[in-house]
Amino acid sequence: MKQPTTPARLTLDHVLFGALLVLVAWLPLPWGSNRFGAQAALGVVAGILCVIYLGNQIFKTDKDAFLPKRYFWPLLLWALWLAWIFFQTIPLSPDWLARLAPSAAQYYASVFPDLAVQSEWPISLLPERTHQKVMLSLGYFSLYVLVIGLARDRGRLKMLGQVIVFSALAQAVYGGIMTLSGLEYGFFEKKTAYLGFATGTFVNRNHLAGYLELGAAMAIGLILADLKVADLSTWKKRLVALLDFLFSTRLRVRVFLAIIVVGLVLTRSRGGNLAFFSALIALGPIYLFYKERQLFVKSAVLFLSLVVVDVWIVSNWYGLEKLTTRLEQTNTETEARTFAFKAYPGLIEQYSPSGSGMGTFAAVFGKGQPDDSYGYYDHAHNDYAQFLIEAGIPGTSILLILAALSCLHAVLVIRKRNDRVRVGICFAFLMASTELAIHSVTDFNLQIPANAATYVIMMAMAGACSQDRPRRPRIGEKVSGKNEALTA
């Protein structure tokens, strides 16, 4: 006898996932969330959603409940990172401070000679700024927990990836319109810098480029996820395959990807464009020969078109030659940021044992800024140097291990799983990691909350790809007893 069916109702789980999607789309809008108010909003909203989600899990008894033990190592690394940067703000006795952070001890002794011997001081030279970074990191951690908890099935992984792609598409379109029309507005304000370059709602064109790199990587992952084996033995089947392609998700996303690449070129960011095409050229063939067998031809055409067609489009209509000219005219001996690079080895040697405190780079660099390095540097134009200076070797090591562990996990998913959605998501994360690893040599995308948070979200998506979880019924979908347990 057929069991009665009941429609799936809107649950707290659905509401939380919808709020997560809205937050992901909001991240780049208020100047890349690189303002104190926007950072505070990110931390508060993500934190509240995370607390509600975890509280809801306490009262669940079904196997869908979030089990932290499945993510023991990444969660442990997150805990160590949060504990370390918080530890930087805790006042220490003069003896312990001299052992752990001799540079900080010398600084306090020089500035407060009468108090340094008998007072307790933190490792961070600006503890209030480091406290802000602790709250921001808690926001990133909350996003990580929300994604691995709420987006572990194929449908939600794909939906979350689409939101990232749509957000990057919107940034590319908006930045292109502002640049080509001459209006030059950012986030409800007229731009005062980087006129003539696409910046979207970011302050810096290089950071828009970093965000578009992430969106482009996710777009490629979604295209790979939608590739299918087609029977082309008869003309009818070939016609059906053609119609299927014309109305497929991969064609739409492929068009979106072309627009995102146009926006990336319009930023004229040398590091951003070099990172994107280098990651594509390096990882594309490896994935193609290592993973694809049944869809080798389709995948080969995809990666070839990404390089050839996109370059042809942007070179003929959107000024690739201007970007090429910028690359050719680059001179490291006259590049402004390279003058600042001269100070980094000394600062790293001085502060790397324990760091100067997250958020303190501007103060540390300003004390010993080279004479030929003019201007104010709130960040190092090198993420590696900034993390070593601010977080020290302990904090930087934790982050590198977390990223490496996540990349290894993504490689294992690609190797062992045949689910195209999960494999595509993991390829997107590997490509995003490669792009940021290259771009971080000359810029500071990981200091921009929108870009750092989006990378954390993609990291969590890759981490969620190994989980076999029952498919969630859609709102309004009729389900019955046995069908509820079918996996996607």
pLDDT tens, position by position, 33-84: 999 999 999 999 999 999 999 999 887 765 455 656 778 999 999 999 999 9
Closest CA relative to residue 473, chosen from 8, 15, 18: 8
Specify the pLDDT at position 54: 92
Residue 159 lies in a domain: yes
Residue 384 lies in a domain: yes
Determine the Cα–Cα distance for residues 237 and 233; give it in Å rounded to an integer. 7
**Torsional sign, CA 238, 239, 240, 245:** positive
Residue 486: pLDDT over 60: no
Record the tokens describing residue 438, joined without a space: 């290259």
Question: What's the domain range around 63?
Answer: 20-89+124-475
Residue 336: pLDDT over 70: no
Q: Could you write out the DSSP letters of every residue in 403-437?
A: HHHHHHHHHHHHHH---HHHHHHHHHHHHHHHHHH
Residue 117 lies in a domain: no
User: pLDDT higher for 460 or 59?
Assistant: 460
Residue 103 lies in a domain: no
Rg (CA), the chain: 24
For the chain, the domain total comes to 1
Residues 418-446 have pLDDT tens digits of 899 999 999 999 999 999 999 999 999 99
Specify the pLDDT at position 172: 96
How confident is the prediction for the chain on average, in pLDDT? Answer: 85
- Mean pLDDT computed over 386-407: 98
Say whether pTM exceeds 0.85: yes
Phi first, then psi: give them for residue 116, nearest 5 degrees.
Answer: -60, -35
Residue 331: pLDDT over 70: no
Residue 101 lies in a domain: no
Residue 32 lies in a domain: yes
Residue 4 lies in a domain: no
Specify the pLDDT at position 3: 54
Query: Looking at the DSSP assignment, which residues form a beta bridge with residue 185?
Result: 190
CB 132 within 8 A of CB 364: no
Specify the pLDDT at position 330: 56
Residue 404 lies in a domain: yes
